[in-house]
């Protein structure tokens, strides 16, 4: 049985509970929730240098902007799809043809339509938020891959790198500078990267870091990106 309400009461109820306003016992506003979730995973700081402002011609540096663009496109597509679904729900005022449809009062028909719209809007909201959560998970995974690509580009060494690194971690700054001179003379990137890695991690050999970055211009941009990239817990 349907509860009988006056037209005025029905109108007031519709105004109090617009389509798409609630999911379960709490409000559902995908746009606001998506913005909130975005702020949680990518805190904004107007003084922080953006990835786009760091120009580095290296594949490891291009992966994150591409992932950010893909993420923004997915977010926009989800919201547009959600708004389109709500418009379709709002415009659907048909009553299903059943043996009882002709005996329903206008109030009962209105209740049926409003209930259907409410359920459909709740489902659309849930699906939109689920899609966004999946997009966040994918973006986080790609961000980790990006950080790993940057680490490999900056510090990855080939065969023989372990020996050079073992020497570098115990070397003074003057010895690290000598290692960089030798690497520059011989073209041995393992020695150069070992000296650079030790100097950068230890933080007590700024001249060695500077000399390496001067000899490898792309490394400075990669390093700035790596310092800002999300790291695995």
pLDDT digits (tens, 9 = 90+) for 86-145: 999 999 888 877 777 788 888 888 888 899 999 999 999 999 999 999 998 998 888 888
> For residue 91, what are the β-bridge partners?
none
Could you tell me how many residues make up the chain?
A: 233
Q: How far apart are CA 62 and CA 53, in angstroms?
A: 12
Structure tokens given for 170: 């115990």
For residue 131, the surrounding DSSP H or E stretch is helix 106-155
What is the tens place of the pLDDT at every residue in 193-206? 999 999 999 999 99
Q: How distant, in Å, are the alpha carbons of 88, 146, 159 from that of 140? A: 33, 10, 31
What is the reported pTM? 0.63
Confidence at 231, pLDDT banded by 50, 70, 90: low
pLDDT of residue 65 exceeding 90: no
Long-range (24+ apart) CB contacts under 8 A made by 203-207 are: 204/173, 205/172, 205/173, 205/176, 207/173, 207/177
Q: What pLDDT does 181 receive?
A: 96
What is the tens place of the pLDDT at every residue in 7-38? 334 443 433 333 333 333 345 666 666 666 65
pLDDT of residue 83 exceeding 80: yes
Rounded to 10 deg, the angle between the 106-155 and 30-41 helix axes is 20
Confidence at 48, pLDDT banded by 50, 70, 90: very low
Q: What 3-state DSSP class applies to 88? A: helix
């Amino acid at each position: 049985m349907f509860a009988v309400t006056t037209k005025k009461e029905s109108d007031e109820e519709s105004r109090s509970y617009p389509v798409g306003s609630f999911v379960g016992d709490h409000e559902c506003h995908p746009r606001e929730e998506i913005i909130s979730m975005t702020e949680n995973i990518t805190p904004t700081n107007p003084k922080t240098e953006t990835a786009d402002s760091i120009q580095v011609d290296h594949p490891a540096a291009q992966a994150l902007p591409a992932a950010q663009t893909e993420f923004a496109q997915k977010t926009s597509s989800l919201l547009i799809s959600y708004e389109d679904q709500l418009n379709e729900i709002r415009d659907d005022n048909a009553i299903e043809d059943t043996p009882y449809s002709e005996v329903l009062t206008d109030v009962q028909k209105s209740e049926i339509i409003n209930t259907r719209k409410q359920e459909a809007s709740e489902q659309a909201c849930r699906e939109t938020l689920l899609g966004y959560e999946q997009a966040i998970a994918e973006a986080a995974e790609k961000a980790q891959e990006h950080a790993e690509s940057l680490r490999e580009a900056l510090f990855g060494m080939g065969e023989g790198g372990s020996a050079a690194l073992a020497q570098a971690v115990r070397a003074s700054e003057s010895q690290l500078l000598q290692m960089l001179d030798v690497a520059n003379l011989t073209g041995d990137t393992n020695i150069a990267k070992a000296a650079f890695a030790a100097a950068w991690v230890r933080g007590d050999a700024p001249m060695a870091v500077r000399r390496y970055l001067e000899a490898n211009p792309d490394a400075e941009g990669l390093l700035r990106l790596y310092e800002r990239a999300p790291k695995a817990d």
